[in-house]
Amino acid sequence: MMNYFLRRAMVTLLVALTVSFGTFALFYFATDPAQTIAGEDAPQEMVDAIREQYGFDRPITVQYVEWLGGVLQGDLGQSYFWKQPVIALIQEHAKVTIVLALAALAVTILIALPLGISAALRPNSWVDRFALSTAVSAQAIPNFWLGLMLIVLFAVTFPIFPVSGDATWQHYVLPAFVLGTSSVPAVMRLTRTGLLDVMGSDYIRTARAKGFTGYQLILRQALRNALLPIVSVLAVQLGHKLGGSIVTESVFSMNGLGRLAVESIFNSDIPTVQSLILLFVLTFVLLTLAADLINAWLDPRIRMG
C-alpha cells in the first residue's frame, strides 16, 4: 500500500508542478505585469522602474522558482488590485466555496445514489426510465438558467429563500441544489451501470441463495464493489465544485473563490489568479489521489497492479 501511495503521490506532485509552471508562464507571456501595476496611462519610465523593482525583467524560470519558494512558505504574493496579501483574500472567500461545494456534493449523493440503486433493482421498468429521464434533464439544463428559474420561483414568486448572498444557511439551499444537480447524471448512471454489472456476479447469486433480496442485497453485498468507480467520480465532482462554482456564485452573488477569480481576471490581478488556479489544481489532484487510495483500500487488486 505504501509503494502504491508513493507512486500516486509522485504523479500528483508532477501534475501540480507542470500546471503551475504552465499557468505562471502563460500569464506573463499574455500580459505585462509591470504595466498592470502602473496602470494603462502610466509613462514608460514608471513601467520600466516597476519592472526592475519587482524583478519582471529576469528570466521566467527564475521568477517561477522565486514564486514557488514563496508559495512553499505560505507567501502567495501581494494582490495588485486589492493591495493586500493574496493568502488573506483566499482565506476570506474560501469558507463560502467550501460550504457550497460540500452542500452540493450532499445534494448529488442524496439524489443520484437512490435513483441509481432503484434503477438497478428494476431495470427497464418505469423506475429505470424515470431515473434515466431525470439524469438526461439534469444534464441538459444549464446551471445559470436553473439558478435564475429557482430564484424567480422560490425567492420572488414564493419568497421562501433569499435571492442572493451567503450570510445564513438559507442562502446556500438554492445554489447547492443548482450545483449539485449538475453532477447527478454522471453519478446516477455510474451507480446503475456498476450495480447491474455486480448483480451478475457469482457471489451475488450466492447471497440470493442465502436469502438476501432487494435493498438488503444491494446495500450489504453489491454496493461495496460498485462503489469503486463512484468514489472516483465523486472526488472529481467535488474538485469541480470547489474550482468550478464560478457561474453559480455569480448568479447568487455569493462572495466565494469563484467570484474572487472572476473579479481578479477582470482586473488583471495576476498574483491572485495564479494562486487561485494553483489552489484549484492542488485540490483537484489531491482529491483524485484520495479517491485512488480509497479504491485501493476497497479493492487490493488495484494496489497490486
User: What confidence category does residue 25 fall into, taking pLDDT thresholds of 50, 70 and 90?
Assistant: confident
| pLDDT digits 0-9 by tens, 187-233 | 888 888 887 777 767 776 777 676 766 666 666 666 767 777 787 78
Q: By residue range, what is the domain housing residue 184?
A: 87-304
Q: Provide the whole-model pTM.
A: 0.81
Whole-angstrom CA distances from 32 to 28, 36, 263 are: 6, 6, 18
CATH number at residue 158: 1.10.3720.10
Report yes or no on 168 lying in a domain. Answer: yes
| 166 domain-assigned | yes
Given this model, what pLDDT does residue 134 score?
A: 83
The answer to whether position 70 is within a domain reads: no
Work out the pLDDT band at 149, boundaries 50, 70, 90.
Answer: very high
Tens-digit pLDDT profile for residues 111-141: 988 888 888 878 888 888 888 888 888 878 8
**Distance between CA atoms of 286 and 83, rounded to whole angstroms?**
30
Total domain count for the chain?
A: 1
Strand partners of residue 178: none
In a domain? residue 16: no
User: Per the domain annotation, does 38 fall within a domain?
Assistant: no
Task: Classify each residue of 93-131 as buried b or exposed e, where b means 16 or more C-beta atoms within 10 Å of its C-beta.
Answer: beebbebbbebbbebbbebbbebbbbbbbeeeeeebeeb
Residue 114 lies in a domain: yes
**194, part of any domain:** yes
Q: What is the mean pLDDT of residues 43-50?
A: 81
For residues 77 and 288, what is the distance between their CA atoms, to the nearest angstrom?
Answer: 27
- Alpha-carbon distance 95 to 256, whole Å? 7
75 has pLDDT over 80: yes
Residue 162 falls inside a structural domain: yes
Residue 18: exposed, middle, or buried by beta-carbon count in 10 A (0-12, 13-18, 19+)? exposed
